[in-house]
Structure 1
Amino acid sequence: MPLTATPIYAGLAALLFVALSVRVILTRRAERISVGDGANKAMIKAMRTQANCAEYAPLSILLLALVELQGAPVWAVHLLGLMFIAGRFLHGYGFGRTPQIVPLRQLGMLLTFAMLILSGAGLLLHGLF
C-alpha cells in the first residue's frame, strides 16, 4: 500500500527545515560567525530553532508513516500531519523571535507532543489489540 498523506508532511517538514537552515546561514553572515555559535545569542537561537526541528521531525514522520501503513483513516493521518507541521512551525516562529513569542512556542510544543502521544498510543493499541 503506497503512502499518500505522509509524503505531503515529509515534504513540508523538509521545506521548513530548509527555511530554518537559511536563517542560520543568514545569521552567520550578519554576525560574522564562521564556526560554532560565537557565544552570540542570535546565533544560538537560530541554531537551536533549526536543531529543534531536526530533533522532532524524523520521529514524527516515522510515526506518521506507520500510522498510515497500519490503515488509519486518511483524515486521521492528515490531522496528525497538520498537528506536527503546525506545531513545528509555531514553535520555530515563537522561539525564533526576539523577544520570544512564548504562547506560540508553547502551542507548538503542545501540538507536537499531542501528535507524538496520539500516534504512539494509537500504534501501541493497534499492535496489542
Structure 2
Amino acid sequence: MAFPLVTATYAAILGLILAALSVWVVATRLRTGVLHGDGRQDTLGRRMRAHANFTEYVPMILILIALLEMMRSNLYLITTLLVILVIARLMHPFGMLAPVNSMQQYIFRGLPAVATLGVLIVAAVTLLMRCLSVPYGLHG
C-alpha cells in the first residue's frame, strides 16, 4: 500500500478550512460574550453548526478516500472527489448564514450538502467494491 499523498495534501487544505471555521466561531464568541453554548445568538448558532457539520463529515470522507488511494484506486476519481469536497466545504458556511428559503441558502447550503453526501457515498461504495474484489486472505 502506498502513502496517500494526494489525500494528505487535500487533508492539509481542509485542515486550514477547519482552522478558519474555528476562528470564525471564536471571534463570534468574543464579540457576543457567549463562552458556552450559543447563548440564543442565531449567528453564533449557525456558525457553530457550520463548524460541527464540517467535523461530522470531513474526517470519515478523508479516511475513505485515503484508503482508496492506498489501494491504488484511480487518482482521477480520488482527486475529483477531493476537489468537490473542498469546494463544497468552502461554500457551506455562506449558506449557513443565508436567509431561510433564499437562493443563497439553496446554492451555498443545499448544493454543498448534496455534494458532500455524494462524495461520502461514492467513496464508501467504491471502497466497499474494491474490498470485496480482493480475494480473502490476500494482503499487499
Q: TM-score, normalised by structure 1?
A: 0.92
Specify the code of the residue in structure 1 equivalent to 2:32: E
Is residue 84–residue 112 contact of structure 1 (8 Å, CA) maintained in 2? yes
Quote the RMSD (CA, aligned, Å): 1.3
**Hey, what does 2:39 align to over in structure 1?**
38
Gaps of 5+ in 2: 134-140
By how many angstroms is 1:110 displaced? 1.4
Alignment of 1:92-103 (within 5 A): 92-95=93-96, 97-99=97-99, 101-102=104-105, 103=107
Per-residue CA distance 1:38-87 (angstroms, 9 max, x = gap): 11111111111111111111101101101101111222111011111112
**Hey, what does 2:15 align to over in structure 1?**
14
Alignment of 1:1-129 (within 5 A): 1-95=2-96, 97-99=97-99, 101-102=104-105, 103-129=107-133
By how many angstroms is 1:98 displaced? 4.1
Q: TM-score, normalised by structure 2?
A: 0.85
Larger radius of gyration: 2
Is residue 24–residue 47 contact of structure 1 (8 Å, CA) maintained in 2? yes
* Number of residue pairs matched by the alignment: 128
Gaps of 5+ in 1: none
**Hey, what does 2:138 align to over in structure 1?**
none
Is residue 86–residue 111 contact of structure 1 (8 Å, CA) maintained in 2? no
SS state at 1:86 partner = helix
Q: After TM superposition, what 4+ stretches of structure 1 lie above 4 angstroms from structure 2?
A: none
Is residue 3–residue 68 contact of structure 1 (8 Å, CA) maintained in 2? yes
Paired with 1:120 and 1:114, the residues of 2 have a C-alpha distance of 10
Paired with 2:14 and 2:94, the residues of 1 have a C-alpha distance of 14
By how many angstroms is 1:99 displaced? 2.5
